Amino acid sequence: QKEVEQDPGPLSVPEGAIVSLNCTYSNSAFQYFMWYRQYSRKGPELLMYTYSSGNKEDGRFTAQVDKSSKYISLFIRDSQPSDSATYLCAMTLRSNDYKLSFGAGTTVTVRA
């Protein structure tokens, strides 16, 4: 069983729709959670991180963590074609920990 499971998609939505992305994990010791965005032929870039259960908002993006269910989500509101990318979840045991465990990534296409 993989430590971090992420549905690879692909996910195709019309412009303006809400995109919902999810990851589940098996190690209850994970404390810090991140979402990376990776455009085609580019390296991943950090989109959001959070360390507590609940919601964190940043513009059109909301990260949600449910530690009791070992489940994290990323929501993109009012999606734009520029949001078309692969989204990777990542998590780690401690702050300042070099070792990130990544999900496989979900490919999202937002249709104009």
Interface contacts to other proteins, rule CB under 8 A: 4, 6, 8, 32, 41-46, 49, 51, 88, 90, 95-100, 102-105
Most distant CA pair in the chain, distance:
41
- Phi and psi (nearest 5°) for 101? -105, 120
In the complex with other proteins, the residue whose CB is nearer, 45 or 57, is 45
What secondary structure letter does DSSP report for 18? P
What's the min distance (Å) between Cβ of 10 and other proteins?
A: 12
Tokens 């070099």 identify what position?
A: 98
